[in-house]
Structure 1
Amino acid sequence: MRQKVATIQDVARLSGVSTATVSRALSHPDRVAEPTREAVLRAVRETGYVANPMARNLRRRRTGSILALVPNLANPFFSEILSGLASVLTPAGYGLLIADTHTDPAGRLTYYLESGLADGVVVFDGTLPEEALATRRRPPVILACEWMGETLPSVRVDNAAGAEIAIRHLYEMGHRRIGHAMGPVGNVLTESRLAGARRELEALGLPLREDWIFRGDFGLASGSAAAMTWLGLKERPTAVFCASDEAACGFMGALQHAGISVPSAVSVVGFDDIEVAAHLVPPLTTIRQPRRQIGRRAGELLSAMIEARALGGPSELLPVELIRRQSVAPPPPGQGDLP
């Protein structure tokens, strides 16, 4: 004989309150008086009632899901941010859906935003068309790490300030010949970090020579290519600030394969502080982004936008931190001055 499934009406009857109060006590316990909340929870235990999240979301006209649009799921940079995001969304009753914007067809963006697939969207890809994200048929959207003008809220770090800190550290270690391995041209992170590096070098009275700017992207292969270019220079920078830790890993690895020692021959600074940075040989000096905090704040701000039924909201700029490790040393003897 099938046992009867407990309903919210059973809980309301046993606890002596309305079904609306039961629902409120379970979904927003802070809004219910403690004696009432305890009576409801006691009735839930006695009846064995289990809330139906699908039915609740249907009543609230919500899906119970948040969509994260990530440009490259293979990039280890995003793991801790997604973990921070989930740490906020899961207790709030949201499931996290993840889509890779580099592998999905570009036309899927409109579908993601207008299909009702999710109650909110976290965008990690600043190259997506802003006009698509600005449509009023979309759910609330927040950008994490990257940004698009000032029309959409974002949570990110001060990238230019991070680049300034990196350059200043190299200068304080005695370097005057400083190069830069860039990210992809046109990317807001690339442009902001390049601008910060230029500004600090200018303030220190140092040039950023064109032949010391290594164009590429944020990946390992790009860093390796920058190392090959560095090896071919007649006059080499004694230190290189890389726009990402992955590029720094590629740069250091290629030089080591060529028999060049880091930091004896050249010092290297990265940006991000991904997990592997501390385990390289030598460990990588880098600019740390508080990635878990970025994820948490993006989740909190997006949840508030959903509750308020708002398409806009505030942005936050988080500080960065210089992590000193062993990939930076004073320049080689006789190379501390400009050529």
Structure 2
Amino acid sequence: MSVPTIATVAELAGVSTATVSRALQRPDKVQPETRRRVLEAVAATGFVPNSQARNLRSRATRTVILLVRDISNPFYLEIYKGVEEAAMRAGYKVLMGDARDDDERITHYVDMVRARHADGLILMVGRFPDALKTELSRLPPIVIALETFPELALPTVSIDNIAAARQAVEHLLGLGHRRIAHITGPLPERLAVDRLAGYRSGLAAAGIAADEALIVEGDFSLDAGRRAVRRLNETGTGFTALFAASDQMAFGAISELRAFGLSVPTDVSVVGFDDIVLADAFMPPLTTIHQPRFDIGRQAMARMIGLLGEEPAAANLVMETRLVVRGSTAPVPLCPNPNPRTKE
């Protein structure tokens, strides 16, 4: 049987050899439908580019890509360290990619692995493109970290977001707070939905009906926290405590509360989620949900190594979280301000 060539792939895909070359080396320069046909032809023929054949026979590139939703967020640094340590021990290197909440960018990184530029992909993004869901059996090795896609049978390392968010709310309830605002993550992403469900569950267990005016959608960013407080101020919605679905949003919220002349935690208590390295250094130090980010990264890489056939495949894992109480929360004030506007 003859060895498949680039011409073999081009003929099967109905494109030129130059297009095949571009689809494999610069997939972002090729239309998605054309790229799909080329990759299907590559898989069908077993074609391997000459420059990569040697690496492929010896476990390919020894490279794994960690794809995150926002590379500027310090939340991912500790996870990267965990991934990198496990990778180094197994003889791999790790590259980090920035998804920017863009389906095309996510597909581009998947195509990079399919084109043998990396061996596998650890995904930390809140979306999984519909086009990729239709071809799960043809996807390269993928591990999901922290995000959850129950409909996809992919190895996953996650936390119980509902239970963790409920614990944050229970802490505030225990301090006497009843008007608790919540800044969500980007809805309808599963992570944001679960943390919102935990918020509602905590209130319901205390016999408190959730006030929809106290719930503001965010996107995990610093600016989202600022916008949420401004929105609550504009609507005149009073609250004595705030639970943000990320530390970044909590920092932004505290900054904006100060701009309105309010003190944290004297006037408003604030709880975050993540326990990033800045949480303890912030003023006041932030009460937050701790995620074992280093171990999450290490476990995600362990599952990738299993997928690549070098260790027994590991089962999906739910990591434990814990509430870290610091200086941003305090008992409800005796004379609470009805809304931020009162101190303008």
User: Normalized against structure 2, the TM-score is what?
Assistant: 0.76
Are the aligned partners of 2:66 and 2:124 in contact in 1 as well (CA < 8 Å)?
yes
Alpha-carbon distance change, 305 to 130 in structure 1, aligned in 2, over 3 angstroms = farther
1:269 equivalent in alignment to 2:271: yes
Q: Which residue of 2 aligns with 1:205?
A: 207
Tell me the distance in 2 between the aligned counterparts of 1:130 and 1:154.
19
Are the aligned partners of 1:81 and 1:292 in contact in 2 as well (CA < 8 Å)?
yes
Q: 1:273: Cα distance to partner?
A: 0.5
Are the aligned partners of 2:65 and 2:120 in contact in 1 as well (CA < 8 Å)?
yes
Q: Which residue of 2 aligns with 1:38?
A: none
Q: 1:320: Cα distance to partner?
A: 0.7
Tell me the distance in 2 between the aligned counterparts of 1:329 and 1:286.
13
Q: Which amino acid aligns with 1:282?
A: P
Tell me the distance in 2 between the aligned counterparts of 1:200 and 1:251.
21
Are the aligned partners of 2:160 and 2:318 in contact in 1 as well (CA < 8 Å)?
yes
Matches within 5 A, 1:115-264: 115-129=115-129, 131-132=131-132, 134-149=135-150, 150-264=152-266
Q: 1:308: Cα distance to partner?
A: 5.7
Q: Which amino acid aligns with 2:117?
A: L
Q: Which residue of 2 aligns with 1:21?
A: none
Tell me the distance in 2 between the aligned counterparts of 1:103 and 1:212.
26
Tell me the distance in 1 between the aligned counterparts of 2:97 and 2:284.
35
Q: Count how many residue pairs are aligned between Structure 1 and Structure 2.
A: 283
Q: 1:112: Cα distance to partner?
A: 2.2
Matches within 5 A, 1:1-339: 57-102=55-100, 105-106=104-105, 107-129=107-129, 131-132=131-132, 134-149=135-150, 150-307=152-309, 314-335=315-336
1:297 counterpart SS class? helix
2:326 counterpart SS class? coil
Tell me the distance in 2 between the aligned counterparts of 1:207 and 1:62.
55
Deviations along 1:234-276, whole A, 9 cap, x unmatched? 4511111101000000000011122211111111000000111
Tell me the distance in 2 between the aligned counterparts of 1:248 and 1:58.
46
Tell me the distance in 1 between the aligned counterparts of 2:314 and 2:139.
15
Alpha-carbon distance change, 148 to 130 in structure 1, aligned in 2, over 3 angstroms = farther
Deviations along 1:29-67, whole A, 9 cap, x unmatched? xxxxxxxxxxxxxxxxxxxxxxxxx99845434221111
Q: Which amino acid aligns with 2:154?
A: L
Tell me the distance in 2 between the aligned counterparts of 1:213 and 1:103.
22
**More off after superposition, 99-108 vs 245-254:** 99-108
The percentage of aligned residue pairs carrying the same residue is: 38
1:66 counterpart SS class? strand
Tell me the distance in 2 between the aligned counterparts of 1:63 and 1:75.
28
Tell me the distance in 1 between the aligned counterparts of 2:199 and 2:251.
20
Listed as ranges, the gaps of 5+ residues in structure 1 are 1-53
Q: Which residue of 1 aligns with 2:36?
A: none
User: Normalized against structure 1, the TM-score is what?
Assistant: 0.78
Q: Which residue of 2 aligns with 1:46?
A: none
1:327 counterpart SS class? coil
Tell me the distance in 2 between the aligned counterparts of 1:189 and 1:246.
16
Are the aligned partners of 2:275 and 2:288 in contact in 1 as well (CA < 8 Å)?
yes
Compare CA radii of gyration and give the structure with the larger one.
1
Tell me the distance in 2 between the aligned counterparts of 1:189 and 1:58.
36
Listed as ranges, the gaps of 5+ residues in structure 2 are 1-51, 339-344
1:307 counterpart SS class? coil
Tell me the distance in 1 between the aligned counterparts of 2:53 and 2:149.
36
